[in-house]
A and B are shown apart, each in its own frame.
Chain A
Amino acid sequence: MSEPVIKCESVYKIFGENSKKMLEEANGNVDAKTFQENGCIVGVNNASFEVSKGEMLVVMGLSGSGKSTLLRCISRLTDATGGKIFIEGQDLLQLNNKELIDLRRNKMGMVFQSFALLPHKTVVENIAFPLQIKGIKTEDSISKAMDMVKLVGLDGRENYFPRELSGGQQQRVGIARSLAVEPDIWFLDEPFSALDPLIRKEMQDEFLRLQEKLQKTIMFITHDFDEALKLADRIAIMKDGIIEQLDTPANIVLNPATEYVRKFTEEVPREKVLLIEDVMEAATSDNLSDLKVSKDEIIENVAEKILTQEKTVAVIDNNNQIVGSINPSKIINTVFGGRKNSN
């Protein structure tokens, strides 16, 4: 794979006076308790990871876990206390103000939990705002913004003010605004948390549709584990500023690294998360049924078909090559099997 788009090397963010000095003295071994006794609060503790092009990394954690702080370090809305952050190979923390503004104007887009729309601008003006900031002519920026309005399905409401829109519509404006400059990197800070469940689901689907089309590199923050499973290519689970586990949704569900992660996975309906690929066994040639299933299918979608077979079912890849096999009993085991024992 080529160079990662976002790369973090032991990033720390510690709030409070003398945080820099204390971090140096701690020598890479940060203990939240000792820091707290000295009036410092640890936001992010030794975060290292990479996000490659077109990948969606979802950072999941409960409130106060430092997930938003981590995102703000990477967008440099706050300066990280220690560590290194690279955006497409550029050292983010070494950028001067002008370079940073340039980076934000061209490469980054961000969506906020409370939408953060400008109350005095209409929908289209809000969306055109980052373009106008860049110095694009009013007419061009407005026509580009109108394309965005159509993309997020708000046609006919372009002259509304944010206060006249519902929450879901406001967030569509927020999404359109963050996409207006056609950024490569897309930050979303709990974008759907303030919406009610039905709208949230609708927005998630919409979001997946957009991502299919746009293929951005995404960091997505959420406190909702189900949302993380639904959207993510990989999930990072954070607790007290530490990344507890960073893996694909399937691996997190199947092999939780810590007790904390396991608690989240307990209630997850696996058939909705896991793919055939995740549970299949090595290919066998004997005694196969006529049915063939794709390795990329979600278990839920093919479970019924497999369970009506008596024999082992072959698993194929996109080129119709058999890559594995799956026995109906394995499906039953995965879906209903004793969760605690199976791990």
Chain B
Amino acid sequence: MELIKKYPKLFQWLFLLIVFFALCFAIDVPETYKFIRGQAEFIKDPNQSTYVLFGKEVRYYAFDVFWRLPPLLGWLPIWINDSLFFLMNEWMPMEFWNEDTQEFKTRPLLLQISRNLTYFMTFLIELIREILIGGKNTVVAFTSWEWISENPWAELPGLPWTIVAAGAAILGYKLSGKGLALFAGLVMIYISIFGQWKPSMQTLSFILIAAPLSFIFGLGLGIAAFKSKRVEKALYPIILVMQTMPQYAVLVPAMVLFGVGDHAAVIITMVVAIPPMILLTLLGLRAIPPEVIEAGKMSGCNNWQLMFKVLIPTARRDILIGVNQVIMVCFSMAVISAFIAAKGLGYNLLLALNRLDIGLALEAGLCISLIAILLDKMSLAWANKQIDYFGNLTFFQRHKNTYFFGFAVILGIIFAYFGSFYFKEGYNYLFEVPHNKGISTADFWNKGVDWIFDAFFIYIKAFNTWLIVEVLQPMRALYLRMPAVATLVLVVGAGYIIGGIRSALVVCGLTLFIALSPWWDRALVTTYMATFGVIISCIIGFTVGTLCFQNKHSASFMLAVCDIFQTFPSFVYLIPVMMLFGITDTSVLIAVIVYATIPATRYTIEGLRSVPAALHDAATMSGVTKFQRLFKIEFPLAFPHMMLGLNQTIVFALFMVIIGAFIGTEDLGQYILKALSDKKGAGIGLTLGFCVAFIGLIFDNLIRTWVNQRKKHLGIS
């Protein structure tokens, strides 16, 4: 009894596990149950039962309710679909003036809004795009197609790549100095001579619209949430779900609302990029010391000045992380939105991967990563920029960058003009290196891949087979063997032990949603893949992080590496693994592990770093060895922060598992991908998205609750 009193939590866990396993063994697998692969669930099966809800027929397998809960939520996707359809096509019809036909036309409100938004976004993207690579859509927007065919001179010619490269370098110099200028120039030159100019500029124009819009809206909503508790309460659940929602899943309903193309991609990107921006803005504003706010007020700031001259600059660090996230998400989405026909590098990447042309995919992926890193560095430099009041500069010195750019424009035009005489075969390389006419390393990479396959095929194959047969299949079987009721008991019990009745109710609701949806089995497969990835990632991340922490320089170096890796669009991770392991689950899992190791490592280092120096010294003076200090002092204190890292690792892993559907998995992601090409996929896609988000949120809730308690207990908050 005393033992129970001493470790009450331990015994609660023990009891929970006993109940869980008892349930697992007590509930048999029903004879009719089989894990359904592929399309089977869409085909009518005589074994299926049906029920009718809201006039919709929902089909499901009538299993023992203890084994799998009946899919009572099966009507949800259909209902979502119908609601969307109703909203778009029937809700609030209104009279709108039609420019083309010069008459009023009746159209549903939402459809009209969507049309206008589409028109506006398309115009913005085309404008930037045509400044960079030329075109006629912008001019047409102000005139007409007839006019442009009569006056072909008015077509925007686009900037020669030399000018854009010079402009990027000058901008880099102005923002940070020679280093960034060199990097910017080299990136642009690389893109150009490797023949990726056009798709790169298409992607860039997409980013240049999506990122600033996301930043502005995120900042605005963050400020609104800071000022009003009510706004915050309304936004918080949306933010929470959006943070764990896989990006594929958002694509589907957006397709219904906005159709396909660059404009839809921008809107989706905003939907995904705004929540983290809001969160970080709010976080930064909350952390401002009250005296700074008072100092601002006493300096005579009005509300506007207080916000933009005092609060936001003071919260700059967190807001910058937000900008960083926005850029990251934008590039990630730049690739993924290729699924809804956004042009650019992502589209080429997708095409190349589909054809298994690893070389081409690698080139596109490298370009997109380079641009991502460049923009990330530039945004950082921009925020850290200082004004020099005492330079006592002449007018010329003050505006020298503008002059240099003007000079570069003239020079670039002259070069391009002469180039048109020099290159006779129709391609003016000084104006634009056409796609696939630049230097290509694709063959080299493809040969490399072939060589790797030839040389190591046996080993890779053997490793692959071993992993799948010995580890993955049994693990998956174990997950699928869990009766739904047992899983529910385990999750809810864990919630109760960690966070009391409130936590238990929250996770119970989230789990029930997944259990009552028709995709419980798929969710289990997703969870198993994510779990596997997370375990390996944590082992690697915690080890690497701890080792790097031992030395100041290696820790900083590792954090910098994490920064760079994090800037890569998530899709890019699929390229090298496909190169090595082909189209198997192993590929997906390796990508998951690489991607999810980033937060695991980062948070380990940051957590260990946050241990106060005084404690470090106190421990040393107590005569501990290095290992004792690590295990008795540093780990326990850093553990809460490391657990937040685990949280991030789970979210990253889930994202990658879903993206891995592109390679071919059998989990929720595969169904989301299918929904993308399904005419009535919006409801299914969204519901599946919620399922994935809820898996993430269950862990998020448990970990966060635990961390907060632990931090309070340790007195570090």
Contacts and interface: CB of A to CB of B under 8 A. Distances in A.
Given A120-B314, A133-B305, A133-B309, A112 B295 contact: yes
A163 interface: no
Interface size class of A (residues with CB under 8 A): 35 or more
A71 B292 CA distance: 16
B298 A108 contact: yes
Interface in B96-152: none
A114 B289 contact: yes
A75 interface: yes
Interface string A93-124: 00001100110111011101111111111101
B316 A120 contact: yes
A130 B390 contact: no
A116 B300 contact: no
Contact of B300 (A72, A77, A105): A105
Nearest to A109: B298
Given A118-B314, A120-B313, A120-B316, A133 B300 contact: yes
B461 interface: no
B492 to A, nearest CB: 36
A116 B297 contact: no
A113 B290 CA distance: 11
A201 interface: no
A134 interface: yes
A67 interface: no
B32 interface: no
Contacts of A101: 300-302
Contacts of B302: 97-98, 101
Contacts of A110: 294-295, 298
B292 A124 contact: no
B7 interface: no
Contact of A77 (B294, B299, B309): B294
A35 to B, nearest CB: 23
A97 B305 CA distance: 14
A72 B291 CA distance: 11
B316 to A, nearest CB: 6
B310 interface: yes
Given A114-B289, A116-B289, A124-B389, A130 B300 contact: yes
A116 B294 contact: yes
Interface string B371-389: 0000000000000001101
Contact of B292 (A98, A104, A116, A187): A116
A112 B293 CA distance: 11
B309 A112 contact: no
Contact of A130 (B289, B299, B387): B299
Nearest to B387: A125
A159 B389 CA distance: 9
A114 B289 CA distance: 9
Contacts of B389: 124, 138, 142
B291 A112 contact: yes
A13 interface: no
Contacts of B309: 129, 133
A177 interface: yes
B297 A104 contact: yes
Contacts of A120: 313-314, 316
A104 B298 contact: yes
A75 B302 CA distance: 15
Given A124-B389, A133-B305, A114 B297 contact: no
Nearest to A120: B313
A187 B295 CA distance: 11
A108 B300 CA distance: 9
Contacts of A129: 299, 309
Contacts of A72: 294
Interface string B298-328: 1111100100011001101000000000000
Given A101-B300, A133-B301, A159-B390, A118 B313 contact: yes
Nearest to A72: B294
Nearest to B313: A120
Contacts of B298: 75, 77, 104, 108-110, 178, 187
A177 B299 contact: yes
B158 to A, nearest CB: 38
Nearest to A102: B300
Contacts of A113: 291
Given A119-B314, A120-B316, A142-B389, A104 B299 contact: yes
B313 A104 contact: no
A133 B297 CA distance: 10
A192 to B, nearest CB: 15
Nearest to A122: B386
A33 B559 CA distance: 54
Contacts of B300: 101-102, 104-106, 130, 133-134, 181
A45 B314 CA distance: 35
Contacts of B387: 125
A120 B69 CA distance: 57
Contacts of A124: 389
Contact of A116 (B291, B305, B386): B291
Contacts of A118: 292, 295, 310, 313-314
A327 B459 CA distance: 107
A116 B295 contact: yes
B297 A77 contact: yes
Question: Which one of B292, B295, B299, B314 has the greatest number of beta carbons of chain A within 10 Å?
Answer: B299
A102 B302 CA distance: 10
A250 B414 CA distance: 86
Nearest to A114: B291
A68 B387 CA distance: 36
Interface in B338-379: none
Nearest to A112: B291
A4 B301 CA distance: 27
Interface string B402-429: 0000000000000000000000000000
A174 B300 CA distance: 15
A130 B309 CA distance: 11
Contacts of A75: 298
A112 B299 contact: no
Interface string A117-151: 11111101100011001100010001000000000
A159 B302 CA distance: 27
A334 B309 CA distance: 55
A52 to B, nearest CB: 22
A190 to B, nearest CB: 11
B259 to A, nearest CB: 43
A138 B387 CA distance: 11
Contacts of B295: 110, 112, 116-118, 174, 177
A137 B316 CA distance: 25
A98 B289 CA distance: 25
A122 B389 CA distance: 11
Contacts of A105: 299-300
Contacts of B314: 118-120
B287 to A, nearest CB: 12
A308 B663 CA distance: 103
A287 to B, nearest CB: 58
A261 B26 CA distance: 77
A187 B294 CA distance: 12
A254 B309 CA distance: 49
Question: Which one of A112, A115, A122 has the greatest number of beta carbons of chain B within 10 Å?
Answer: A112
B398 to A, nearest CB: 13
A218 to B, nearest CB: 15
B712 to A, nearest CB: 24
Interface in A164-219: 174, 177-178, 181, 187
Nearest to A158: B390
A146 B301 CA distance: 21
8 contacts: A101-B301, A104-B298, A105-B300, A110-B294, A115-B291, A116-B291, A117-B292, A133-B309
The 10 closest A-B pairs by CB, nearest first: A105-B300, A116-B295, A130-B299, A116-B291, A110-B298, A104-B300, A120-B313, A112-B291, A116-B292, A142-B389
Given A114-B289, A129-B309, 7 more contacts: A110-B294, A118-B295, A118-B313, A119-B313, A124-B389, A138-B389, A159-B390
